[in-house]
Amino acid sequence: MINDVYEAICQVSKSVTDFEGGFDVLFEFMCEHPGSATTREFIRFHRQVMGDPSLEDGRPEFTYLIGRKFDIVWVHKEDLWPFIQFAVLRILDNK
């Protein structure tokens, strides 16, 4: 089950979303860091807090993030520095 959510995170990280930009970076970070505390906590949040929402075909869906403001609290404190480095490099690569 956790793998299903992780695979969906990676799928979303490769697509155009309606999420605020910070969530796009977050999903890319989680895809590249599957064992991070951020990834583990996001999967826990998706399953336990949000109730494990899924599409009709059973794939996890994250539409509950549409319209939400990205805040750094989505990143686990032990991943803050790696996430910031990742985000800065992503911004520099896109220039």
Q: What is the pLDDT of residues 22-50, one digit of tens each?
A: 999 999 999 999 999 999 999 999 999 99
Residue 87 has pLDDT above 90, yes or no: yes
pLDDT at 52: 95
Q: How far is CA 51 from CA 59, 64, 82, in A?
A: 13, 11, 29
Tell me the domain boundaries of the chain.
2-93
80 confidence band (pLDDT: 50, 70, 90): very high
- Per cent of the chain over pLDDT 90 is 82
Least confident segment among 2-6, 12-16, 26-30: 2-6
pLDDT at 92: 80
